[in-house]
Every structure is written in structure tokens, then in C-alpha cells.
Amino acid sequence: MTAEQRRQLDAILRQSAIPSDSDVAEQRRLLHALASAQPLASDVVVTTTELGGVPTVEITVEGIASRHVVLYFHGGVYVLGDAFSAAGLASEVGRRAGAKVFSVDYRLAPEHPFPAAVDDALSAYEALLRRGTAPSDVVFAGESAGGGLSVATLVNARDQGLPLPAAAYAMSPYADLTLAGATIETKREVDATLSRELLQPRVTDYTAGEDPALGLISPVFAVLSGLPPLLIQVGSHEVLLDDAVRLARQAATADVDVTLDITAGVPHVFQTFRPLLDEADTALNRAGQFLSAHLTDADLLTG
């Protein structure tokens, strides 16, 4: 962990930041270019597949042959990103959890506004269960919008009467699309990637006239009782810090086993930058221990 690493990463992010006044097509192009700049590890295999009619990519790491599954949701404010571009980070989660990964290519707004992403996420999980995967062998994970979507999918699955996975891991969750978190303003100078100006138009794209305070859009407002253990990781240098803090508080109030893990001085979804930032690797290791422990605990309970 070095201050120099953090300074270098901040400079890189500011240089490659997405302009808030660019259109959706340009923002998609820029995010894809940024994600593609980090090659996959040589032992990672990505295969196109589907779950319940929803496109996914199956991500495996050489030497890991397990029945355990990470159902992964990529970020991109519900408008940008794709399952393949998230494969680098998703594979590191799978590696540390000792599991294969299915990254869900849910439909994006504005072409497909809410509830398309929520519906696709639930359909993918239902398909896993129909294939015979035990819920105790599944964990959810996601970053940014995918972190919020992972929690929303837990809520949706609970409300639909489905058995819930063993645990969930949310990185820098985008969990309040009303943008009411105090750190939207107080952290704007230190956040090199996100801002109210960048987020607000994409909120409109996704909500398409629906109330952004609905629980399946903004899980900070959802009833979280009955959810499995949650790990929420966030950096102190991001405007979504308050989303993570309030989501953890909401979960704790609902008697959910929740761990809030805040790393000082690091940016939004800092785990992505594992090759550049020591804190990213150590945070992923903590997440792997959390996920594998809950998968193992489930084995003991069902074995």
C-alpha cells in the first residue's frame, strides 16, 4: 500500500474520465476502451452462454473445478458496460472464492429501462436453480450498478419466494438513484470518475418515469430483512461512499449479517485496478475469504 500508487492511479483515471456531456454511445465506447486496456489473466477462459434466455459469459480459472458459482453483475449505471468487459474483475472474484462465474449480460437502458435489468438478473438466477444448482452453492457479486443489482436481485428473489444464495458481495454499490447521498457533493473533488453531472442523465435513462426511490431501483430504500450475509466494499474517495454506508445501515437494521469494508484513499471500484494498487488485491482477498467461508459453511450445513 503506497500513496504513490494511489496518486498514479488518480492521474490515470482523471486522464481517461468519461466527459459528463458526452452521449450514451460515446460513453459506452470510452468505458469499453478503458475495460479492454487490462488483458485477462492467461489462466482465465471466457465462454459465451446463456441462462434462462439471458446472455451470459461463463468464466473459469484453470485449476478451479467446483460446483460453486458466482453470479456476477457488471457495472455501468445500468446504461453502459457488458458481461465480457467485466470478466477480468469477475474472474478474480471467482478465483478467490474457488468458484466458476456466470457474468450476466442484462439489458441496458435507455433501450431497455427498468425493470429490464432486474428481470434479467432474476431470470438468470432462476435458470441456475432449474439446472439443479443448489442455492447454497451460489453467491452473488457485482460492482457499481451491478453491486446495487445484486442486492435488488436478492430482494426480488426473496419476494418471489425463491431460495436465496449463500452470500453476496457488492463493490462500490450504486444503491440510491435519487442521488441523495451526502457524498455525492462532499466527495466530488476526490472522485476521479463519477459525479452528479455524469450520473443524473443516466438515472433518467434507466428509470424512464418510474420513481427512483423504488426498492428494486434503489435498494437503500428496500426492506432487506431475510437476506443472506452481505459484504460491501467501498473506497473513501468516491461519491457513492454514502450509498454503501446507508445500504449497510439498512441491512444491519433489518438484522442482516453485513460487513462494511471501507478502504481509505481509493477510488470507485478500486478492485478493478489490482495490477496497479496493492489495496485492490488485499480487498479481493478479503472478499474471497468471505465468499468461500459462506460457501463452505453451506456445505457443512447441507452435508
14: CB partners within 8 A, 6+ apart: 192
Average pLDDT, the chain: 95
Catalytic site residue from 136, 144, 195, 292? 144
* Contact between 102 and 69 (Cβ < 8 Å): yes
pLDDT above 70 for 302: no
Q: How confident is the model over 187-216, as a mean pLDDT?
A: 97
Report the pLDDT value the prediction gives residue 297, as an integer from 0 to 100: 67
Report the pLDDT value the prediction gives residue 301, as an integer from 0 to 100: 56
Please write the tens of the pLDDT for every residue from 50-89: 999 999 999 999 999 889 999 999 999 999 999 999 999 9
User: Domains, the chain, ranges and CATH?
Assistant: 3-302 (3.40.50.1820)
Q: Which long-range contacts (CB under 8 A, 24 or more apart) does 45-49 make?
A: 46/84, 46/87, 46/91, 49/102
Please write the tens of the pLDDT for every residue from 99-144: 999 999 999 999 999 999 999 999 999 999 999 999 999 999 999 9
Query: Which residue(s) pair with 75 in the sheet?
Result: none
* Contact between 147 and 77 (Cβ < 8 Å): no
Bridge-based pairing state of the strands 100-104 and 54-61? antiparallel
Please write the tens of the pLDDT for every residue from 80-106: 999 999 999 999 999 999 999 999 999
Catalytic site residue from 238, 279, 292, 294? 238
Q: With pLDDT > 90 as the criterion, what percentage of the chain qualifies? A: 89
Question: Interhelix angle for 116-130 vs 145-159, to 10°?
Answer: 60
- Sign of CA pseudo-dihedral 202, 204, 207, 213: positive
- Round to whole Å and give the CA distance between 166 and 163: 10
Q: How confident is the model over 241-250, as a mean pLDDT?
A: 98
- Nearest by Cα to 114 from 204, 31, 25: 204
Catalytic site residue from 68, 74, 237, 268? 268
Q: Is 144 a catalytic residue?
A: yes
Q: Is 238 a catalytic residue?
A: yes
Please write the tens of the pLDDT for every residue from 9-45: 999 899 888 998 999 999 999 888 888 778 899 999 9
Give residue 149's identity as a one-letter amino acid code. L
CA dist 269 → 79, 82, 241, 273 (Å): 17, 16, 11, 8
Name the DSSP class of 117: H
pLDDT above 80 for 2: no
